[in-house]
Amino acid sequence: MKQIEFHVHSFSLRHHLRYRERTGYDVFSYIAEMAQLGFTGVNVSANGAGYRDLCGTSPEHFAAVRSAVAERGMKLELDTSDTRVENMTTMLHVAAACGADTLRTYTKYSAPLADVIEWTIRDLRTVASLAADLGVLVVLENHEDFTGPVLAQILGAVDHTSVRALYDYGNSQMVGEDPLDALAAMAPFIERVHAKDHVLLRGPDGPVVQGVPFGSGRLPVGETTDRLYAAGVRRFCYENVWSYTAPLKCAADALPDTPCFEWDDPHRYLVGDTLAPEEAVREERLAFDQGLHAFQQMLKSHGYEVSSGR
């Protein structure tokens, strides 16, 4: 059997956490439940002024999160966005205070590609030493922006062991790149992944990538997992992206002729944010459970076994 670490992302239950005043479901509920489900680690979105799914911004809160994860023998990753040095410096310290071993980021610059590449390299070079000192790995995600070769170019230029890549199973679709092509280009740098599933739809406002329960989409999830393992990846993070949508950033007639770019049933179009809170929470839980079962079955059929993590 092939031993792996098994993480889960808080985006998977984002409506539970967003409506926590109604649901009573907070970051501590999330950590406790995911431990019971057998995950060896949790990933938490900490974007924005209130640090989103982290559910708190004080040193005391960070210490409580650190304790909640540690007492269950789990590992923690945090997510931020925006590579600018001010944000990364702040969030690296937050990650360290929470006991996270990884901080995900992506660029938020809006400028010509050459400038964005230059500025992202500059930012990551600047924070690399701090990341190393704090013991936090920075991972740059292919997040609906860079193609695999461009991301590899950036990380090759940064050239630091504390700055690596996070490969998302489907984000390259938004820029018209086949996910397996992105993986091939990024492979030397990949340390972390987000495992999810997508379909391509003609939505009411144009073509979109639609998140669906894991195992019900068109991404080559089994082959992707095997290629990542062969590239040395040992930590896999399950991310339920039911009801998430993102527009294509390229012309539809320029898409690759591969199975994951085949058009799916437009009736599958769904934006979870438009649903009433109770419905969003209920349907999200069904999608989470369905996708988790499919992910676990895929791992089992491909010869993977979750290590204890302790």
| Contacts with 177 (C-beta within 8 Å, 6 or more apart), sequence order | 147, 148, 256
Look up residue 155 and give its amino acid.
L
Q: Are 62 and 51 in contact (CB under 8 A)?
A: no
Query: Which neighbouring-strand residues pair with 207?
Result: 202
Eight-state DSSP code of residue 263: B
Domain boundaries, the chain: 2-306
Q: Which residue blocks in 39-112 are alpha helix, DSSP H?
A: 59-70, 85-98
Q: Are 141 and 105 in contact (CB under 8 A)?
A: yes
Angle between helices 221-230 and 179-186 (to 10 degrees): 10
CA angle 171, 270, 48 (to 5 degrees): 55
pTM, to two decimals:
0.97
Tracing tokens 């992944």 back to the chain, one arrives at 193
pLDDT in tens, 115-141: 999 999 999 999 999 999 999 999 999
pLDDT digits (tens, 9 = 90+) for 26-80: 999 999 999 999 999 999 999 998 999 999 999 999 999 999 999 999 999 999 9
What phi-psi label fits residue 192: left (phi over 0), alpha (psi between -120 and 50 degrees) or beta? beta
Domain 2-306 listed as CATH 1.10.3470.10: no
